[in-house]
């Protein structure tokens, strides 16, 4: 089977996350900047997978391919993909990932005509863009009762597929804005980024696996880890309010889902003193976003960068003490922008090695890879960007 994954705004990160879950079980082909193909002889539970993939917008199945762009030929192929039931209104839409025009509107009108000739009531769902957003697909239930036909340009051929699942944006928004304790002033980690970070640890949930966030804030990483099935969660923060917020948010989510299959140990503690309450060599993965530096106002890079590097170096030294042998550390190192200047925080990470996730993937096409295979997360206008770093205890 061949699946397509429509990637988010940071394709490098999206692919690193996907690979961290599936590793070498599948063959990967990066055909467009926003499209990754996966080929496997196994069936993927796409609805379960996409619920916890922070960097993937849609997943679908490739059903056919053709070298012809003739409208009648495409219509014939599309007509074979899904036969709608006559008793209900059939909604359909097209998303095209490519450069050459395929005259979507004309194709949609021809398909609509074909359906009406079969006495099928239908509606074409479209947008101003050549692709339908996950919001449009979800609101119109195209992957359930309708059809989102996805056409992907791959060199000299067109791949035809249908969407099977989309990112649950409503759930992600609920995790963020529905929780009882939020702290806008400290800088909020988006839930989908927390999902990505947990996945980058490449550790599968199991009863004996322990996950730690020593800068837990309002508990975003721990909450997403709990939702992904990790039962043993440890949190700490130098702020007592953060500890209380984390406890409140996880209790709230546990009640919402009627989930009591997790244990949270949490303490008000400086991250440089974790070993005073966490046994040495006991934690499987540390997943965390430390203090990123000032978010507002003018930033003195010559002062802020050394201060952050000193803090990060100290906590990494402490992390080494409590991680198991070969334990993993998924951590954000800030990239701070001040005017025309950019400075990356690069702490000392003695006794750890950086894992370049993207270097391990056997991609047929690597032209979309960003420089140095770094996993940079941010958007234009932000003062602080996030560099996602994966380290392994030596």
Q: What is the pLDDT of residues 270-323, one digit of tens each?
A: 999 999 999 999 999 999 999 998 877 778 889 999 999 999 999 999 999 999
Q: What 8-state DSSP symbol labels residue 115? A: H
Is residue 375 scored above 90 in pLDDT? yes
pLDDT given at position 363 = 79
Instruction: Choose the most confident range, by mean pLDDT, from 104-108, 139-143, 286-290.
Output: 286-290
Nearest C-alpha neighbor of 168 from the set 293, 16, 47:
47
Question: Helices 11-22 and 191-200 meet at what angle, rounded to 10?
Answer: 50
Q: Give the whole-number percent of the chain exceeding pLDDT 90.
A: 71
Token duo for residue 353: 């090695």
Strands 352-354 and 341-344: unpaired
> CA–CA separation, 375 vs 380, rounded Å?
16
Place of tokens 């692919």: 15
Alpha helices in the chain (DSSP H): 11-22, 46-50, 71-79, 104-117, 134-139, 169-177, 191-200, 220-227, 240-257, 301-322
User: Mean pLDDT, to the nearest integer, of 90-112?
Assistant: 91
User: CA angle, corner 241, sides to 237 and 245, nearest 5?
Assistant: 90
DSSP states along 257-269: HT----EEEEEE-
Question: Which of 50-64, 320-334, 369-383 bottoms out in mean pLDDT, i.e. has the lowest?
Answer: 369-383
Please enumerate in sequence order all residues whose Cβ is within 8 A of that of 228, keeping only pairs 6 or more positions apart, or say none. Answer: 52, 195, 198, 205
Buried b (16+ CB within 10 A) or exposed e, 52-79: bbbbbbbbbbbbeeeeebeeeebeebbe
pTM: 0.94
Token duo for residue 297: 């106002």
Nearest C-alpha neighbor of 323 from the set 287, 363, 289, 283:
283
Q: How confident is the prediction for the chain on average, in pLDDT?
A: 91
pLDDT given at position 102 = 84
> CA–CA separation, 96 vs 200, rounded Å?
30
Is residue 186 scored above 70 in pLDDT? no
pLDDT given at position 87 = 60
């Amino acid at each position: 089977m061949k699946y397509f994954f429509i990637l988010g705004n940071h394709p490098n990160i999206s692919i690193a996350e996907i690979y961290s879950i599936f590793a070498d079980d599948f063959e990967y082909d990066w055909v467009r900047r926003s499209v990754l193909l996966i080929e496997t002889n196994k069936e993927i539970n796409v609805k379960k997978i996409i619920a916890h993939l922070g960097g993937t917008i849609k997943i679908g199945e490739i059903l056919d391919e053709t070298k012809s762009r003739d409208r009648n030929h495409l219509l014939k192929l599309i007509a074979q993909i899904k036969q709608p039931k006559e008793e209900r209104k059939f909604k359909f839409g097209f998303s095209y990932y490519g450069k050459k025009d395929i005259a979507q509107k004309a194709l949609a009108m021809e398909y609509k005509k074909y359906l009406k000739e079969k006495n099928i009531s239908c509606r074409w769902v479209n947008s101003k863009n050549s692709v339908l957003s996950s919001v449009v697909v979800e609101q119109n239930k195209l992957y359930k009762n309708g059809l989102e036909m996805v056409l992907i340009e791959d060199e000299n051929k067109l791949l035809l597929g249908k969407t099977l699942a989309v990112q649950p944006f409503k759930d992600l928004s609920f995790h963020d804005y529905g929780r009882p304790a939020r702290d806008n002033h400290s800088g909020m980690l988006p839930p989908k980024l927390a999902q990505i970070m947990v996945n980058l640890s490449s550790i599968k949930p199991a009863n004996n696996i322990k996950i730690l966030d020593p800068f837990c804030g309002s508990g975003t990483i721990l909450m997403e880890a709990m939702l992904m099935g990790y039962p043993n969660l440890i949190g700490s923060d130098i702020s007592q309010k953060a500890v209380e917020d984390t406890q409140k948010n996880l209790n709230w989510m546990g009640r919402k889902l009627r989930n009591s299959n997790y244990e949270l140990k949490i303490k008000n503690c400086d991250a440089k003193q974790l070993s005073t309450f966490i046994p040495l060599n006991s934690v499987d993965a540390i997943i965390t976003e430390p203090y990123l530096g000032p978010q507002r106002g003018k930033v003195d890079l010559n002062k802020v960068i050394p201060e952050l590097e000193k803090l990060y170096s100290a906590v990494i030294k402490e992390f080494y003490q409590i991680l198991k042998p070969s334990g993993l550390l998924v951590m954000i190192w800030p990239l701070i922008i001040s005017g025309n200047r950019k400075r990356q925080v690069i702490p000392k990470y003695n006794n750890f090695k950086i894992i370049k996730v993207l270097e391990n993937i056997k991609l047929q096409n690597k032209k979309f890879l960003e420089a140095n295979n770094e996993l940079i997360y941010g958007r234009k206008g932000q003062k602080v960007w996030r560099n996602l770093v994966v380290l392994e205890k030596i």
